[in-house]
Amino acid sequence: MQSLFCEKDPHPHIGWRFIPEKEGAFKNKEFWTTVRINSLGMRGSEVDLSQDKKRLLILGDSIAVGWGVEEESMFSTLMGKELKNWMILNMSVPGYCTRSQFFQLDKMGEKYHPSVVLLSFYHNDPIENAYPEDFQIHNPQYYKGMERLYGYHFLRRILDGSLFKKEARPYYRGSNREIWALTEEYLEKIMAWCQQRKVRFHLAYFPVKDEINEKEPVGYRKKLVEYCLREKVSYIDLTEVIQSQPEPRDVYFEIDEHLSSQGHLIVARKLMEYLDLR
């Protein structure tokens, strides 16, 4: 989606952004969708900022921006249809992580005067926070960036040979203390931004498809749960509601790792229940 609908952002720490008023087809073997970017640089229809409504600002990546589903099926669109007194502003951009989401919020958030900020979190965010994506320059950062595809410790075990000494654990189970510490720094920056403006802050964890078989939090999901409990952060783990479905894997595309239309519907209902914005 980045190559079709994004351009370089002049901010040195954001990387890229949606091209305002860009529209076109986005497809692969599992889906064929239309992507429309409004004049504010957000996926979706035009927004009238003059309306006297409270505003929910969503920060996220390809999961939250509705990769693979039509605009009307995105969880943010579904929430907007139900919450008539709220304006849902989905600032999500594919490939973003906590780091880029903070700088995006710091650059753009003020103009939208949100009442609530919802940050979506995905298992690969910590790696991307530590190693900003730049696959064009083949330097050590490039090879470190590859860790985002396989999981930090999984790759390390391949490199040091330990992978062949004992059974490899799933990629999402790995975590790194230094990388997580950096992620906490950006979480704290986002929360500080909200606190300074008296904006309610909530955090939602979106599980990777392979992770829904886990009975307890592992890897960076576990780190996030512990952090939110310790710092008293308003937090919802969407893993549980997905696990409760008759066929949890149907919440995702069969091949692609992103949420299907069914998944977005489940997420929309759960978030509305949790945020209690009615």
For residue 240, give the CATH number of its domain. 3.40.50.1110
pLDDT of residue 132: 76
Q: Note the pLDDT of residue 131.
A: 87
Give the pTM. 0.87
Judge whether 214 lies within some domain.
Answer: yes
Which pLDDT tens digits describe the chain residue by residue (278 residues)?
Answer: 888 999 999 998 999 999 999 999 999 989 999 999 999 999 999 999 999 999 999 999 999 999 999 999 999 999 999 999 999 999 999 999 999 999 999 999 999 999 999 999 999 999 999 987 653 333 444 334 444 444 444 455 455 554 445 446 788 999 999 999 999 999 999 999 999 999 999 999 999 999 999 999 999 999 999 999 999 999 999 999 999 999 999 999 999 889 999 999 999 999 999 999 87
For residue 163, the model assigns a pLDDT of 46
The one-letter amino acid at 121: F
259 CB-near residues (< 8 Å, 6+ apart): 63, 67, 68, 69, 75, 206, 251, 252, 253, 267
CA distance 30 to 105: 32
Nearest to 122 by CA among 71, 35, 183, 77: 183
Does 226 reside within a domain?
yes
Nearest to 99 by CA among 65, 133, 50, 67: 133
Q: Is residue 164 part of a domain?
A: no
The Cα–Cα gap between 265 and 224 comes to 24
pLDDT for 143: 35
Does 50 reside within a domain?
yes
- The range of the structural domain enclosing residue 32 comes to 2-134+173-275
**Strand partners for 24:** 35
Residue tagged 């079709």 (tokens): 4
Q: Are strands 86-90 and 54-59 parallel, antiparallel or unpaired?
A: parallel
* Residue 144 counted as domain residue: no
Helices (H), the chain: 2-5, 75-82, 98-112, 125-130, 140-145, 147-150, 152-160, 177-196, 219-231, 239-243, 261-275
